[in-house]
Structure 1
């Protein structure tokens, strides 16, 4: 049995015409000899009647005190509605289709409501239906705990569902269908000559996703990478081949000169962050101060990023909307933090960065020539990050895209 997991986002399911296009993708998979497992998101986006945010806003308009357990029960309805509509559409076209919730599909999670992690997948029921020749439609974004409580997997959770099912079923591939034709070298709304990448490594797309690219959730990539199952990012509304996500770099095919690795794959950006600087030089015990700073953020549920621990100060970023809360916590602990609000993180990503001289020099040169001030920088084997003023974010992305010749 050749299993193919196909995940369709909310925009792909929003109208009867679009659902017909989804059905044609399922039909094509069946004609090619696959047993498709179709993962669906909630229909539409914010403002649409069955979108996740619509359900959240419905109850928050009444009270902000609804427990996360009950909120998970509510928002999981969006995918159930979407799944039932999709099964109805497939049956109208002659397919024998069946709907399973995340729990019925065997997705077992921990009890972190709102952002649950998958512990394991027990796909027995899916396999039974596939052997009967059915198209199995699974509600994305959700699972159940060991004791049967409904949970949701956080934003982008349907991607995670698709990847987890792909691994559990040993699928030949996991196709993530969106409203774009693949992974691009930069956001096309910012860079006019951004182009679609034919192939990208798991590590590269994971870094791009973590740094702001919205096409796929990084957790899904990490799961698929465990079993080396190919991910394909495709468009529901076209026959474009999309982007293949695999462990092999595009320039490392047989017969290719190994010195020809692609150094930079793409540019990503994350807007609306605040840089926090906490001076520690005058403190008696800087080691204890460092522990207190990050423990205080953790206990308050504030996610920190772009961390730089120096002998005389600690620098890190938080989301703009959490900056005031973070500062108050620090001040209550006796620190005197300063902030630079309205920043953006701009990143260059490429599996070929490590060990290549001049990459940082080119980055600094491009930003300097564009008049962009660098507030902070960091790097890894595949990524170099810089923090810039948000007003310079677009200019920075465009300058780097041009500098590294990533255009079409």
Structure 2
């Protein structure tokens, strides 16, 4: 049995016309010899009647401190609605489809309500239905604990559901359908000549996702990578081939010029961050001071990023929305942090960066020529990050996209 996992986002199931396009993709898979397992998100986005945020706003409008367990019960409703509607759509065109919740699908999680992690998947019930020739529709974003409590998987949870099922079912491929034609070299709203990336490695797409690209959640990529199951990022609304995510790159033709190997794959950006700088050179125990700073922020559920620990200072970023809370915590500890609000992190990502001299020099040159001030920088073997003022973000992305010739096929 050839199993294909197809995941459709909220915009893909938002209207009857779009659900008909989803049904067409499912039908195409069946007629191509696959047994499809279809994962769905809740219908639409915030403001739409059956969107997850709409349910949350309804409950929180009454009581803002609803416990996480009850919130998960509420948030799981959106996918049940969209899954039922899609099953009805598939039945109407002659397919025998059956709906499974995360619990029915055997998705077992821990009890971290609101951001649960999948412990294991027991796919026996799905396989039984596939053997009968049925199309199995699974509600994304949710699972169940060992003791029967419904949980949700956090941001990007439907992507995570699709990848977990793909691994458990040993699927040939996992198709992630969105409202774009694939992963692009940069945000097309910022860069006019941004283009679709044909093939990308798991590591590259994880880094792009972590640095701000929103097409797929990095947790889903990491799960698929465990078994080297290819991911395809495609559009529900076109027949474009999309972006293939795999470690198995296409064969090169004889005589291929290796000097043209891709160094940079894409540019990502994360706006709305604040840089905080804490002077520590006069503190008696630097290591203990650093530990106290990050421990205090962690206890307050404040996520820190872009960390630079030096002998005289600690620099890091937090999101703008929690910046005032972080500043107050640091002040209560006796520090008066330096603050640069309204920043943006801009990243270049590419598996070819490692060991290639001059990449950082080219990045600095491009930003300098464009008049962009670098506030902070860091690098890894696949990514180089810079922190810039938010008003320079678009200019920085455009300058780097041009410098590394990402608009050229």
Unaligned runs of 5+ in 1: none
Q: Detail structure 1 runs of 4+ shifted over 2 Å in the superposition.
A: 252-261
Unaligned runs of 5+ in 2: none
Query: Within 5 Å, which residues of 2 pair with 1:294-373?
Result: 294-373=294-373
SS in 2 for 1:191: coil
Within 2, Cα distance between the matches of 1:384 and 1:16?
Answer: 44
Offset at 1:248? 3.1
Query: Within 5 Å, which residues of 2 pair with 1:140-155?
Result: 140-155=140-155
Within 1, Cα distance between the matches of 2:279 and 2:297?
Answer: 16
SS in 2 for 1:368: helix
Within 2, Cα distance between the matches of 1:220 and 1:105?
Answer: 17
SS in 2 for 1:348: strand
Aligned twin of 1:389: 389
Within 1, Cα distance between the matches of 2:221 and 2:213?
Answer: 13
Within 2, Cα distance between the matches of 1:58 and 1:354?
Answer: 49
Aligned twin of 1:14: 14
Aligned twin of 2:214: 214
Aligned twin of 1:239: 239
Within 2, Cα distance between the matches of 1:386 and 1:116?
Answer: 32
Query: Within 5 Å, which residues of 2 pair with 1:149-298?
Result: 149-249=149-249, 253=252, 255=254, 256-298=256-298
1:349-387 deviations in Å (ceiling 9; x for gaps): 000001111100110001001110000000001000000
Offset at 1:261? 2.4
The aligned length equals 407
Offset at 1:253? 3.2
Offset at 1:260? 3.9
Aligned twin of 1:61: 61
SS in 2 for 1:73: helix
Aligned twin of 2:34: 34
SS in 2 for 1:335: coil
Within 2, Cα distance between the matches of 1:127 and 1:389?
Answer: 52
Within 2, Cα distance between the matches of 1:258 and 1:51?
Answer: 48
RMSD: 1.0
Structure 1 pair 340/315, CA: closer, same or farther in 2 (3 Å)? same
Aligned twin of 2:130: 130
Within 2, Cα distance between the matches of 1:257 and 1:222?
Answer: 31
Within 2, Cα distance between the matches of 1:299 and 1:258?
Answer: 49
Within 1, Cα distance between the matches of 2:4 and 2:257?
Answer: 34
Query: Within 5 Å, which residues of 2 pair with 1:74-85?
Result: 74-85=74-85
Within 2, Cα distance between the matches of 1:48 and 1:109?
Answer: 29
1:222-264 deviations in Å (ceiling 9; x for gaps): 00000000000000000010000001346x6364455542100
Within 2, Cα distance between the matches of 1:313 and 1:269?
Answer: 25
With the length of structure 2 as denominator, give the TM-score of the two structures. Answer: 0.98
With the length of structure 1 as denominator, give the TM-score of the two structures. Answer: 0.98
Structure 1 pair 249/384, CA: closer, same or farther in 2 (3 Å)? farther
Higher mean C-alpha deviation, range 23-32 or range 58-67:
58-67
